[in-house]
Amino acid sequence: MGELVVANVSIDNGQEKIAFIGLGNMGAPMALNLINAGYQVCGYDVISANLDALRNAGGKAATSISTAVKNADIIVTMLPAGKHVRSVLTGREGVFSSAKTDALIIDSSTIDVTTARDMADMAKNNGLGMIDAPVSGGIMGAEAGTLTFMCGGEDKAFKRAKPLLEAMGANIIHAGGAGNGQAAKVCNNMLLGISMIGVSEAFNLADALGLDRQKLFDISSTASGQCWSLNTYCPVPGPVPTSPANNDYQPGFSVAMMLKDLKLAQNAAQSTQANTPLGELATDLYEAFDKAGNAGVDFSGIIKFLREQKV
Ligand code: NAD
């Protein structure tokens, strides 16, 4: 309850005012959860339909970044990639030049670690607090308010962000200094891409050997082969009714999104000379699957590609 309106008298009860930039598939439900938690949310997106949706949900729609952020205590960004975050923060009339001096920036986009650290440095030079706080949990997690936030930044900024993140997520983890939230995100998603390919190969081999898929699931999901890609997001129809395999591989988490994250991981591995041969192979396989016209398919659909393409 940021502002109570009683008989046309507006009383600010002290809760922080939020600017939310980027009201797409993830940002819109996240902003809605903030509104439902009682925050005043003023949003901006380059797509006017997204602003209409925010207005209809009880938020304020701004006509520019600078109008959205000028009175905000906390500014959340949920944008496609690093170049969008850089432009929204550093552009003319962007966040750095328009925000109040004591404002805190929370970037929840998934972006490269280098840009995240650059932005944190620049925020500090502008007298602003900043954390990187990418999420896991997808659109369903954003809608349900059960996202996991992986956060990087100073303790003070993290503590200030935490109550707000709790209105949008179930697990809020401080992973260390600036950029460490993004580091956790790329490591996790590289592991996810690799493990989905591994689980898919195991089911394809089981088919070839005449082993029933349900039997493999019953055994491996309780044995040493268990992992999230098998137990929760099984890539064959049947064993896990909620997995996209039962819905013709509708996302879920699209191949395009997985490929984006695998490429971020590979760029990070190259720049730090970390050895990630399976991460590199997973990137190549998802790139081939994407190029074959499957960008919008759920990432678990790679099982069919591996079966049919004999890559
Ligand atoms: P999206 O494309 O649906 O939303 C991004 C929004 O940013 C769009 O509405 C776009 O118009 C807006 N935008 C772009 N440039 C802008 C600018 N200069 N000013 C204002 N608005 C601008 O993407 P999404 O699915 O919401 O994902 C957002 C981020 O979250 C991405 O970094 C993605 O990798 C990450 N993510 C997505 C998922 C998922 O399942 N969709 C899961 C985890 C993380």
Residues of the chain with pLDDT under 70: 1-14, 310-311
Assign domain 17-177 to its CATH superfamily.
NAD(P)-binding Rossmann-like Domain (3.40.50.720)
The Å distance, Cα 225 to ligand 1 centre, comes to: 34
List CB contacts of 110: < 8 A, sequence separation 6 or more. Answer: 81, 134, 135, 182, 185, 260, 261, 264
Rounded CA-CA distance 267/189 in Å is 14
Nearest ligand 1 atom, CA 27: 26
180 and 188 Cβ atoms separated by less than 8 Å: no
Ligand 1 pocket, Cβ-based, cut-off 6 angstroms: 21-27, 44-47, 50, 78-80, 84, 87-88, 109-110, 135, 138-139, 253, 257, 260
Angle at 170 between CA 168 and CA 173, to 5 degrees: 100
Give span(s): CATH 1.10.1040.10, the chain.
183-308
Q: What is the CATH number of domain 183-308?
A: 1.10.1040.10
Catalytically annotated residue among 185, 260, 263, 291: 185
pLDDT at position 309 is 80
CA separation for the pair 202, 225 (Å, rounded): 10
**Is 83 noted as a catalytic residue in this protein?**
no
Tell me, in angstroms, the distance from the centre of ligand 1 to residue 231's CA: 28
Q: Looking at ligand 1, which residue's alpha carbon is closest to its atom 14?
A: 79
How far does residue 77's CA lie from ligand 1's centre (Å)?
A: 9
Domain ranges in the chain with CATH number 3.40.50.720: 17-177
Peptide bond into 252 cis (omega under 30): yes
Per the DSSP assignment, residues forming a β-bridge with 149 are 135, 172
If you search the block for the tokens 């670690």, which residue do you land on? 113
Q: Which of 78, 90, 96, 147 to mutate to test the pocket of ligand 1 (most atoms within 8 A of CB)?
A: 78
What is the per-residue pLDDT for 311? 52
Q: Where are the alpha helices (DSSP H) in 57-137?
A: 65-69, 82-90, 95-98, 113-125
Q: What does the pLDDT read at residue 8?
A: 36
Nearest to 106 by CA among 49, 163, 64: 163
pTM over 0.85: yes
